[in-house]
Amino acid sequence: MPRNRAFSEPEYSAEYSADCSVTLPSDPGQAVGRTHEVTVRSSGCCLCLPRFMRLTFAPESLENLYQTYFRRQRHETMLVLVVFAALFDSYIIVMCSVVYTTDKLASVLVASVGLAADIILYLLCRFGLLPDRISRRVVPYALWVLIAAQIFCYLGLNYARFHQASDTVGWQAFFSFSFFLTLPLRLTPIVLITTVSCGVHTL
């Protein structure tokens, strides 16, 4: 089966286009077929994870092909995270407008700029207006920076006079969880950006 060009990545060599097949229990017509093992990763930075979370395909080319496919599928779910960010800005605008005072003006303006950025980013991703390399390598991190900036601006502007340890913790936890569900990145970068966000928020 030739590899679909939609799942090709420049950093992967041509060896990943090799035919791969498995014998499924529901396929009685194939008595013999080539199978690929699933092994447990015994090296790298994820050794602290449970055994079932370190399963990889063997050979490594098949694992890389799977990871490429997995990240490609997540490009659609990343749009959900952009919508979450837009809804967060809309929430800030509505809440600050309901009980409006002069000190809420900065929060409304920042949230409005963030909402406009979310809408632009959604349209660019939804209609494929960005180059593929930028969409894969830059947009996930740009979205993380945008969301982190929105949370910290809301924390700094809306709670400027009466900080408490629990301010915006719920939002931080929600978006940290959303990163794991929606960003088209490997596990290690997601863990790192979540750690940075939570660490800065704690400080």
- Residue 160: alpha-carbon gap to chain centroid: 30
What does the chain look like in DSSP terms, one character per residue? Answer: -PPPGGG--TTS-GGGGS------TT-TT-SS-----EEE--SSS-TTS-GGGGEEESSHHHHHHHHHHHHHHHHHHHHHHHHHHHHHHHHHHHHHHHT--GGGHHHHHHHHHHHHHHHHHHHHHHTT-S-HHHHHHTHHHHHHHHHHHHHHHHHHHHTSSS--TTTTHHHHHHHHHHHHHH--S-HHHHHHHHHHHHHHHH-
Question: Average of pLDDT values for 138-145?
Answer: 95
Q: Report pLDDT for 52.
A: 56
pTM of the model: 0.71
Q: Both tokens of residue 198?
A: 């939570």
Question: Average of pLDDT values for 122-150?
Answer: 93
Is the pLDDT at 178 greater than 80? The verdict is yes
Percent of the chain scoring above 70 in pLDDT? 72
What does 116-136 look like in DSSP terms, one character per residue? Answer: HHHHHHHHHHHTT-S-HHHHH
Q: Give me the chain's average pLDDT, please.
A: 78
What does 172-191 look like in DSSP terms, one character per residue? Answer: HHHHHHHHHHH--S-HHHHH
Q: How would residue 11 be classed by pLDDT, with cut points 50, 70 and 90?
A: very low
pLDDT in tens, 155-168: 888 876 677 777 88
pLDDT in tens, 33-49: 455 566 655 555 556 66
Question: Cα–Cα distance between 49 and 41 in angstroms, integer?
Answer: 10
Question: Cα–Cα distance between 42 and 48 in angstroms, integer?
Answer: 10
Q: Report pLDDT for 195.
A: 94
Q: Report pLDDT for 31.
A: 46
Question: Cα–Cα distance between 176 and 170 in angstroms, integer?
Answer: 10
Q: How would residue 7 be classed by pLDDT, with cut points 50, 70 and 90?
A: very low
Q: Report pLDDT for 40.
A: 57
Q: Report pLDDT for 197.
A: 93
Is the pLDDT at 70 greater than 80? The verdict is no
Is the pLDDT at 15 greater than 60? The verdict is no
Q: Report pLDDT for 36.
A: 52
Q: Report pLDDT for 43.
A: 55
Question: Cα–Cα distance between 141 and 152 in angstroms, integer?
Answer: 16
